[in-house]
Amino acid sequence: MAKQLFGTDGIRGAAGEYPLDPATIYAVGEALAEQAAAAAASPEFLIGADTRESSQWIAELMAGGLAGRGARVRYAGVITTPGLAYLTRVGPFVAGVMISASHNPYQDNGIKVFGHNGFKLPDEAERAIEWEILRLREAGAAPRPGRLTVDAGMDQLYLDYLASTAAVRFDGMKLALDCGNGAAYALGPALFRRLGAHVSVVCAEPNGRNINLNCGALHLETLRRAVLATGSDLGVAFDGDADRAIFVAGSGKIVDGDAVLLACARALQAAGKLPGNLVVSTVMANLGLEKALERAGIGMVRTPVGDKYVLEEMELLGAPLGGEQSGHIIFREYSTTGDGMLTALRLFEIARRAGVGLEELTADLEVFPQRLINVRVREKKGLEEAPAIAAEIRRVEEAFAGAGRVLVRFSGTEPLARVMVEGPDLERVERFSHSIAEAIRREMGA
């Protein structure tokens, strides 16, 4: 049965509108508390939030729903999503709830739920909670916001943990950080300054409405300008909740999640810490990454898009490293979710030890032309129900004759069909991606 509320990364939408209207948010808190009460008396939850203006009132409604069903609540205040996951895992909490819409604009928000183990909830658990949310929402209890006081120092516990994993110091290194006016605006600079780096910071003045606005991991020109203007050795951009990171080399070259996976996989292999010589990524990973890993004797397993699916496969295979082209990188030894600050630590360590820049680390990565087109749709239905689209996809795949890839999927958080075409020839990639996108527009376009 398809989920109605939870997408690939929690519940997400426009703040104040269904499913992020007050009644539904309150019901989410009630449902989570009811589920936890079945296993523990007076269960305790941890709530964290990013910097968008709606995060506070959503957190208060969530706290009200939890408390209304007998749960206790602590509030970490502004913290990164991986920080919330870490604190949930090491603390006395049955679950953690992060209020964030990640890379989306400030008008949107979301709810991400982590179990006590620090993992995002599996699909089956989300379906069970959904049923209860919808039942409670229908019951129509009047939402009563809870009172929240920031538990001072919780963010420092996370910062201390990250610093404790550092194998080298960064004295003398010049780093540029774009914090996306998001959850890492204070923690990111503090971490790397603690480890000795000279840090230049941009986009670290959140006002509730400027999160991800022309900055952060999806808008890299801001960071690129900062790297070149300050003569920084390296630069990193975080998204709104800092569970992803994209990098810029000292030369200004952009280094995405695929390149990070390649550099980290080879470093782990050289250190004897890549059992099975396996890395996990998603269907969006570039063919160039797969071929570069093959040359190093490293296999790559693909999963659906979503870092929780990457982590599930990592756990199944015992793989220590996995991630997404978008910058969600998971180091299973240290974290249970994508963590932008941790990824920056590991990548900067590799560059420091090798005595080279990010560009040199991944110079042999040949990136195949890849075109991604988003088509707004009025409905999401399987391709078996859309024969014209399926026929166009088959035509393109036959034309590639195994030398390229076609991927069509629906967004888990927006009414979009995503068309990705990849191959060795840019002109064919462009032509084929547009032909498939046009077929989707004709069949189900909004």
Hey, which residues are catalytic here? 102
Peptide bond into 105 cis (omega under 30): no
Measured over all CA atoms, what is the biggest interatomic distance in the chain, rounded to whole angstroms? 62
CB 50 within 8 A of CB 183: yes
Neighbours of 380 (CB within 10 A): 14
Residues 6+ apart with CB under 8 A from 261: 279, 281, 285, 289, 321, 322, 323, 329
In the three-class reduction of DSSP (H, G, I as helix; E, B as strand; rest coil), residue 218 is classed as: helix
Alpha-carbon distance 135 to 31, whole Å?
9
Alpha helices in 305-425 (DSSP H): 307-317, 340-354, 358-361, 387-400
Our measurement of the distance from residue 376's CA atom to the centroid of its chain's CA atoms, rounded to an integer in Å, reads 22
Alpha-carbon distance 190 to 181, whole Å?
15
Output the CA angle 350-167-78, nearest 5 degrees: 95
String of DSSP letters for 81-105:
HHHHHHHHHHSS-SEEEEE--TTS-
Rg over alpha carbons for the chain, rounded to the nearest Å, is 22
| Among the listed residues 180, 256, 174, 175, the one whose alpha carbon sits nearest the alpha carbon of residue 222 | 180
Alpha-carbon distance 162 to 158, whole Å?
6
Q: Strand 329-331 vs strand 370-376: parallel, antiparallel, or unpaired?
A: unpaired
Burial of 295 (0-12, 13-18, 19+ CB in 10 A): exposed
